[in-house]
């Protein structure tokens, strides 16, 4: 290939994937998870003898199945997955490497190739990867997809609503916009093709629904007991003295809209439901912090901020029972959580795409600003994490 300056480079554009497969020593399939089987079936048989093959899909079960089915037996399989989005600096971020069928020397070669990213290497099996990504990403995505759906249904731009600006609301809004600023298939593949994710998304919808019913019915004791039981199961006593990932000053620093003079109370149904879901599924989010995405760490940051602040948590419970300000929003959020869960359970990629892109168009005008703020927010929480680890 000739470079823009007219110099000959060492990059050649080949005619198709067969030419790539037969001539390459290391091959990476970076395709949508739902298409991995068809593409490996097409080009896999042409793979060079002794080559190393991997993929970057977010769900490894279908990827590994495709490799085992379509690759020659004399081909090695070492997959990987960078646990962050395209706009995040890979330095220090988790990079999972999965040595499925390969000797140690090939594993070291792949690690050496990927070392240029300066990421934190985590070695897992395909099954471990899928379970951990479900634990850290599936419900996180479902929560923010549902928030965006609810705001869209109510014809709201949250940065124009004083009740959605400041503190925890800044993080909710920015992550929601960040997710909708990505490609739909990034989330659909993980949600629909990962069986662990399906179960968790279903439980999140159930948690949202059950908590909302308790709020509507005014069942104070049952709601309070359930919230505190979930808190103790997820955060426990050992976390009480640990420094928070996010503090007030940090939360208020990153705002898309104008912060109101007085903070408005919120029942934080989306956050109450995530902890309820973790409790029901026996998930302790800190167990997978080394394999978590920046978005998950932000979500965990505002979750522990709420649950480890007794006065704020009690305020959320009281607001849930006595304040109707967010009732319409919570109703739409409950509908949205159940609808996304149904879409995932049925495996409807096209329905997922249509729904995602419709809401994406609604929020599109604010994506550039939200992306910049989100990047700064992620950098802040990453610094706090390094401080917590004593780095």
Residues 294-347: tens digit of each pLDDT: 778 888 888 988 998 899 999 999 999 999 888 999 999 999 999 999 999 999
Give yes or no for residue 20 having a pLDDT over 80: yes
Which string of DSSP letters, residue by residue, matches 221-274?
A: HHHHHHHHHHHHHHTTTTTTTSPPSS-HHHHHH--SSPPPSSPPP---HHHHHH
Q: Kindly state the DSSP code that residue 182 receives in the 8-state scheme.
A: S
Binned at pLDDT 50, 70 and 90, residue 164 comes out as low
Distance of CA 210 to the CA centre of its chain: 24
Contact 155, 341 (CB under 8 A): no
Domains of the chain: 17-124 (3.40.50.720), 128-389 (no CATH)
Mean pLDDT for the chain?
A: 86
Beta strand pairing status for 120-123 and 26-29? unpaired
Determine how many CB atoms are found less than 10 A away from the CB of residue 9. Answer: 10
pLDDT in tens, 55-108: 999 899 999 999 999 999 999 999 999 988 777 788 888 899 999 999 999 999
């Amino acid at each position: 290939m000739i470079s823009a300056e007219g110099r000959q480079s060492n990059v050649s554009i080949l005619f198709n994937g067969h030419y790539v497969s037969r001539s390459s020593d290391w091959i990476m399939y970076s395709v949508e998870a739902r298409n991995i089987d068809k593409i490996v079936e097409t080009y896999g048989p042409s793979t060079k003898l002794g080559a190393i093959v991997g993929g970057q899909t977010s769900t490894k079960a279908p990827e590994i199945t495709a490799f085992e089915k379509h690759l020659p037996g004399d081909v090695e399989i070492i997959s990987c997955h960078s646990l962050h989005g395209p706009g995040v600096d890979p330095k220090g971020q988790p990079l999972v490497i999965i040595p499925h069928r390969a000797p140690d020397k090939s594993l070291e070669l792949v690690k050496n190739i990927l070392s240029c990213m300066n990421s934190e290497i985590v070695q897992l099996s395909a099954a471990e990867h899928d379970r951990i990504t479900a634990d850290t990403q599936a419900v996180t995505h479902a929560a923010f997809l549902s928030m965006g759906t609810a705001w869209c249904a109510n014809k709201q731009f949250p940065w124009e609503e004083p009740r959605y600006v400041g503190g925890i609301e800044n993080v909710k809004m920015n992550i929601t916009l960040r997710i909708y600023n990505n490609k739909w298939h990034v989330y659909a593949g993980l949600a629909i093709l990962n069986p662990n994710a399906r179960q968790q998304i279903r439980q999140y919808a159930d948690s949202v629904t059950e908590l909302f019913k308790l709020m509507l019915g005014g069942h104070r004791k049952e709601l309070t007991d359930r919230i505190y039981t979930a808190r103790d199961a997820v955060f426990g006593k050992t976390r009480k003295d640990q420094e928070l990932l996010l503090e007030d000053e940090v939360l208020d620093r990153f705002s898309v809209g104008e912060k109101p003079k007085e903070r408005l109370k919120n029942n934080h149904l989306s956050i109450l439901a995530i902890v309820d879901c973790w409790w029901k599924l026996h998930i302790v989010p800190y167990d997978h912090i080394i394999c978590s995405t920046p978005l998950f760490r932000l979500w965990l940051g505002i979750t522990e901020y709420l649950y480890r602040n007794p006065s704020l948590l009690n305020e959320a419970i009281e607001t849930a029972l006595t304040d109707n300000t967010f009732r319409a929003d919570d109703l739409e959020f409950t509908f949205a959580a159940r609808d996304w869960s149904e879409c995932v359970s049925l495996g409807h990629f096209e329905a997922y795409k249509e729904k995602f892109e419709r809401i994406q168009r609604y929020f599109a005008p604010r994506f550039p600003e939200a992306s910049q703020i989100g990047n700064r927010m992620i950098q802040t929480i990453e610094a706090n994490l390094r401080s917590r680890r004593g780095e």
